[in-house]
Amino acid sequence: MISLYSGEFLEVSIKDLMIPSERVAHVQVGNSLEHALLVLTKSGYTAIPVLDPHYRLMGLISTPIIMDSILGLQRIEFEQLERKRVEEAMNTKIPRINIHSTLKSSLDLLVDHPFLCIEDDSGIFEGILTRRTVLLKLSQQVKRYNKK
* Residues within the interface to ligand 4BW (CB under 6 A): 19, 23-25, 43-48, 114-115, 128, 130-132
Write out the H or E segment, with its range, that includes residue 126: strand 125-130
Residue 147 Cβ vs ligand 4BW, minimum distance, rounded to whole Å: 26
Residue 114 Cβ vs ligand 4BW, minimum distance, rounded to whole Å: 4
Cα–Cα distance measured from residue 79 to residue 45, given in angstroms and rounded to the nearest whole number: 23
For ligand 4BW, the closer of residues 26 and 84 by Cβ is: 26
Going through 33-85 in order, the beta strands assigned E by DSSP cover 47-51, 57-62
For ligand 4BW, the closer of residues 27 and 80 by Cβ is: 27
Residue 92 φ/ψ region, left for φ over 0, alpha for ψ in the -120 to 50 degree band, beta for the rest? alpha
Residue 73 Cβ vs ligand 4BW, minimum distance, rounded to whole Å: 29
For ligand 4BW, the closer of residues 30 and 114 by Cβ is: 114
Cα–Cα distance measured from residue 3 to residue 142, given in angstroms and rounded to the nearest whole number: 10
Residue 97 Cβ vs ligand 4BW, minimum distance, rounded to whole Å: 14
**Which candidate, 36, 37, 15, places its Cα nearest to that of 119?**
15
Write out the H or E segment, with its range, that includes residue 68: helix 63-69
